[in-house]
């Protein structure tokens, strides 16, 4: 069932569970992610980062697969940094888009996000934006306390843009952490109290199970995943190669997608979205 984010995240917020936003890039990863969600009766967010695949081709495959899925599936643009990315995603059938202007000044971030909300909402496409900035894990020790989201700004940002959910910076980073993840739970608690829309956490891979469960308890509803899914897929491939079970590209792809799917199933259970479809 193809849906947008609004009803899914509001239910997640009300009932204190999280929904995985799994980065996918081709038909195999799309079907592996949907299979994991169907196995555990979980809603799912299929996320595309534009650098990973063509927006139109991804949309064509993902929208078709989502429509026939036995669980609610959102087709979501992740970190759209160009106005044209958002336009392409809407034209390709995406049901949700993230507008990433997190490195822009506050007023510019508001203005550019607001313009995209204006054309997305009339066609029933939900909009996510980021305030503060989630950096790269490779620079974690130097940047972990930079770009944190300010609660007062977050409230104004939501009021002025009309977004459906807000990605916040509370101590996570994208990619592999160079250091121990340290989340600012007091800040997250404040944000959850003042921000009227569901909250999103980027950089969940490697953050730690207990940290993620606590973040969900404090208001996080959408959790972005890629690195851990990627690593799990590669790990299964390595095991199969050592066992001399890989004889060609098809077996290699099957092994990687198995690892990807199994790791996503793990997170579905950890986030509590199983049996929520």
Q: Which residues are catalytic?
A: 78
* 73-83 burial code (b ≥16 CB/10 A, e <16): bbbbbbbbbee
Please indicate if the annotation marks 77 as binding a ligand. Answer: no
Please indicate if the annotation marks 266 as binding a ligand. Answer: no
Please indicate if the annotation marks 182 as binding a ligand. Answer: no
Cα 87 to Cα 78: distance, rounded to the nearest angstrom: 13
Please indicate if the annotation marks 275 as binding a ligand. Answer: no
Structural Rg of the chain based on CA atoms? 18
Q: How many CA atoms lie within 13 A of 130 on its CB side?
A: 25
Beta strand 44-48 pairing with 19-23: parallel
Long-range CB contacts for residues 79-85, cutoff 8 Å, separation at least 24? 79/49, 79/50, 80/50, 81/50, 82/50, 83/112, 83/115, 83/116, 85/50, 85/55
85: left (phi over 0), alpha (psi -120 to 50) or beta: alpha
Please indicate if the annotation marks 165 as binding a ligand. Answer: no
Please indicate if the annotation marks 130 as binding a ligand. Answer: yes
Cα 78 to Cα 100: distance, rounded to the nearest angstrom: 8
Element (H, E) at 185: helix 185-194
Please indicate if the annotation marks 100 as binding a ligand. Answer: yes
Cα 277 to Cα 275: distance, rounded to the nearest angstrom: 6
Selection from 133, 145, 222, 219 nearest residue 169 by Cα:
133
Please indicate if the annotation marks 225 as binding a ligand. Answer: yes
Please indicate if the annotation marks 11 as binding a ligand. Answer: no
- Residue positions in the annotated binding site? 79, 100, 130, 174-175, 202-205, 224-227
- Residue positions in the annotated binding site for Zn(2+)? 79, 100, 130, 174, 202
- Residue positions in the annotated binding site for dihydroxyacetone phosphate? 175, 203-205, 224-227
């Amino acid at each position: 069932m193809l849906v947008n984010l609004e009803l899914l995240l509001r239910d997640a917020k009300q009932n204190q569970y999280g929904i995985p936003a799994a980065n996918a890039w081709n038909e195999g990863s799309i079907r592996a992610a949907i299979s994991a969600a169907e196995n555990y009766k979980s809603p799912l967010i299929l996320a595309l980062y534009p650098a990973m695949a063509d927006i139109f081709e991804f949309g064509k495959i993902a929208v078709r697969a989502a429509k026939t899925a036995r669980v609610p599936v959102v087709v979501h643009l992740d970190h759209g940094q160009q106005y044209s990315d958002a336009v392409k995603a809407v034209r390709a059938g995406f049901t949700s888009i993230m507008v990433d202007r997190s490195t822009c000044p506050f007023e510019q971030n508001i203005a550019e996000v607001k313009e995209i909300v204006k054309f997305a909402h009339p066609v029933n496409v939900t909009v996510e934006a980021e305030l503060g900035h989630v950096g790269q894990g490779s620079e974690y020790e130097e940047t972990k306390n930079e770009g944190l989201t300010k609660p007062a700004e977050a409230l104004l940002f939501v009021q002025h843009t009309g977004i459906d959910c807000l990605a916040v910076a509370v101590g996570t980073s994208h990619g592999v952490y160079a250091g121990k993840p340290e989340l600012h739970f007091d800040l997250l608690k404040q944000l959850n109290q003042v921000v009227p829309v569901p909250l999103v956490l980027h950089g969940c891979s490697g953050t730690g199970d207990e940290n993620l469960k606590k973040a969900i308890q404090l208001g996080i509803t959408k959790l972005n995943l890629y690195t851990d899914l990627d690593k799990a897929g590669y790990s299964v491939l390595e095991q199969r190669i050592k066992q001399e079970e890989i004889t060609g590209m098809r077996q290699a792809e099957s092994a990687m997608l198995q690892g990807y799917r199994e790791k996503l199933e793990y997170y579905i259970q950890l986030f509590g979205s199983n049996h929520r479809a």
